[in-house]
A and B are shown apart, each in its own frame.
Chain A
Amino acid sequence: MSITIYIPCDSGAVSLGADRVATTIAELAQQRGIAIDIIRNGSRGMYWLETLVEVVTDAGRIAYGPVQANDVAGLFDADFINGGKHVLNLGLTEELAYFKKQQRLTFARVGKTDPISLDDYLTHDGYRGLNNALNMAQADIVKSITDSGLRGRGGAAFPTGIKWNTVLNTASEQKYIICNADEGDSGTFSDRMVMEGDPFVLVEGMTIAGLAVGATQGYIYLRVEYPHAHKALNAAIAKAYQAGYLGDNIRDSGKAFHLEVRLGAGAYVCGEETSLMESLEGKRGLVRFKPPLPAISGLFGKPTVVNNVISLASVPLILDKGGEYYCNFGMGRSRGTLPLQLAGNLKHTGLVELAFGLTLRELLYDFGGGSASGRPIKAVQVGGPLGAYLPESQFDTPLDYEAFAAIWAVVGHGGIVAFDDTVDMAAMAKYSMEFCAIESCGKCTPCRIGSTRGYELMDEIMQGRELDKNIPLLRSLCDTLLNGSLCALGGMTPYPVLSALNHFPKDFGVNETTNVA
């Protein structure tokens, strides 16, 4: 009987040599006359252990990692195909503390299954949500989502059920479902992991959304920086069409839903939903004025649901197990789980899916293991490049939308980037202004001109020039950006800039006591 070995095809694992590991294992197995089946799975999300090779044994899947190509011969010598002892043997994958402590709902299959095998998807509870939805009234599908308490996981945290309900109740011959897969925030990679590791769950979630609101066409707007996800999604969509899960007559229900992946072209602002729709229409990604809301007049002027990857990937589970099941996880008005992403200067970077409510400190130290450099963690940016920098004194804040809002910070898409004490926070503030200047769509003046002016101002400040004049000017400029910008790019760039200034005034050459906000 042949032995099954899982080696991730996740691009993060591939970036550390997973393809070479897979090739070497295949070659050596052949040389030694051992029959093996290699399955390329998604990543379990423990990137410091990648390439994580798993061998199926009677006791369960045994993990070896981090494996490099030159370790493979030694692994065969140690009889790893039967779970043999080796310095890289980590024991049962699902008993690893980092993994075992998680509550994986949206990521239930990621890392377990062959991402582009429909059979594997079906065996692991796939399409159960859609089967339920096909027998439900549209309003009942929307109600399940509303009951679940699901809020948009892209960053704005708007209740998904309310958005769907608006589109459902707006009459139109044509409606659209758009998946915002323009995951451009630094420190975030959960969308990528789902699309590479379990693309069918996104296809299913979008199909359910289409049934719920009466949309027959869906688009996944995928950033061009994700070629691996592009291939995985296209493979899954092709298989879903073949098997009748997409098309004009989904599973003989008489209902239609079509799905296509469209590539972005490196513009960060296209993650903003109205800019994204302009881009899908073939235009420059300029932000639109709101109202009208996309739910009423969106893509090509039609009612449109725009949801993030994680929001849509959470839908199949909610339709399978019910809104209440999902709602029972979480705290306050933050219901369900959030796939958090530990990045930057941490020992144990990776994906941690948990119910809302854990503190930042638990994430950074219990999961993240502290800094990779071994130096003290000085600052943490949560929620991408438009998120605030948090100092050590705020590490006990629980991960919850409202708790973060109360300290003038954002949870956003759940990306957490740690910096050790070598970071210069004035340089990070300058970078935030630079990034805003590079990515501004140019439609509104505060963002277009304010970002460049902010960059110049930070240059002055970093050279210590006229701080008594320039620091108040920076605050005033941030006030204009915050209140006068059309979208979150200009409107939230002050979060990293001002939080850096408020929490780390010394880096700006300012005395703590004179730095009054």
Chain B
Amino acid sequence: MTEPNTTQAVQEVIAALKDKPGALLPILHGIQAALGYIPADSVPVIAKALNLSRAEVHGVVSFYHYFRDTPPGKHTIYLCRAESCQAMGSAELEVHAKHKLGIDFHETTENGQFSLEPVYCLGNCACSPAMQIDEAIYGRVSASTFDDIINELEKSA
């Protein structure tokens, strides 16, 4: 069961945005911004408000890499895998990050602190390799700066 405040958040987002042309993506962004993910039981609610089928809403949620249907960790790490970062050693950084966190892409650490997601370009190609944690962006990331950043975030947990 979804918590009552979750249902309320979903309702508020829908009420504010449902009359926009092409409202589905703005609504999904609104819900994910409020809750961190799109709960499965919000799908029929969204579908009803927009006069769509549940399959159509589910299809949109599952099409876009950014939308998730499970709660993320406290921090989401987006590690760039694209060419420019590869030219500056992102493949090694990826191996290191997975080892340090003990998880693969699309997974969350057991303590719920970190989720790890691949990203295909952060537009920070002049400072490769790049990563983003929540909304903070980092450039020229090495294995040791990665550890420093993660350790710092863990300390402040």
Q: What are the residues of chain A within 8 A of B119 when measuring CB–CB?
A: 225, 266
Q: Please measure, in the bound complex, the distance between the C-alpha atom of A339 and the C-alpha atom of B66, giving whole angstroms.
A: 29
Q: Check B26 for interface membership: any CB of A closer than 8 A.
A: yes
CB distance from B80 to the nearest CB of A (A): 8
CB distance from A185 to the nearest CB of B (A): 7
Interface string of B19-55 (1 = CB under 8 A from A): 0011111101100000000000000000000100000
Interface residues on A, range: 35 or more
A15 touches B84 (CB 8 A): no
Q: Check A408 for interface membership: any CB of B closer than 8 A.
A: no
CB distance from A63 to the nearest CB of B (A): 17
Q: What are the residues of chain B within 8 A of A12 when measuring CB–CB?
A: 123-124, 126-127, 137, 139
A16 touches B123 (CB 8 A): no
CB distance from B47 to the nearest CB of A (A): 12
Q: What are the residues of chain B within 8 A of A186 when measuring CB–CB?
A: 82-85, 120-121, 125
Q: Please measure, in the bound complex, the distance between the C-alpha atom of A430 and the C-alpha atom of B24, giving whole angstroms.
A: 35
Most buried by B among A15, A280, A385, A417: A15
B24 touches A47 (CB 8 A): no
Q: Check B96 for interface membership: any CB of A closer than 8 A.
A: no
With contacts A265-B67, A282-B60, A345-B88 taken as known, whether A11 is within 8 angstroms of B82 at the C-beta atoms is: no
With contacts A12-B124, A186-B120, A225-B119 taken as known, whether A281 is within 8 angstroms of B22 at the C-beta atoms is: yes
Please tell me the number of chain B residues within 8 Å of chain A, measured between CB atoms.
42
B82 touches A284 (CB 8 A): no
Q: What are the residues of chain A within 8 A of B84 when measuring CB–CB?
A: 186-187, 343-344, 415, 417
Q: Which A residue's beta carbon lies closest to that of B118? A: A438
CB distance from A298 to the nearest CB of B (A): 13
With contacts A14-B137, A225-B122 taken as known, whether A349 is within 8 angstroms of B64 at the C-beta atoms is: no
B120 touches A439 (CB 8 A): yes
B59 touches A284 (CB 8 A): yes
Interface string of A96-108 (1 = CB under 8 A from B): 0000000000000
Interface string of A433-469 (1 = CB under 8 A from B): 0010011010000000000000000000000000000
With contacts A280-B22, A439-B120 taken as known, whether A265 is within 8 angstroms of B135 at the C-beta atoms is: no
Most buried by B among A189, A282, A349, A415: A282
B83 touches A417 (CB 8 A): yes
A372 touches B88 (CB 8 A): yes
B126 touches A349 (CB 8 A): yes
Q: What are the residues of chain B within 8 A of A226 when measuring CB–CB?
A: 123
CB distance from A265 to the nearest CB of B (A): 3
A265 touches B121 (CB 8 A): no
- 14 pairs, CB–CB < 8 Å, chain A vs chain B: A16-B127, A16-B139, A186-B82, A186-B120, A191-B123, A225-B123, A265-B29, A266-B66, A267-B64, A279-B25, A284-B63, A342-B126, A343-B125, A417-B125
Q: Which 4 A-B residue pairings sit nearest by Cβ, starting from the closest?
A: A282-B24, A186-B82, A265-B64, A15-B139
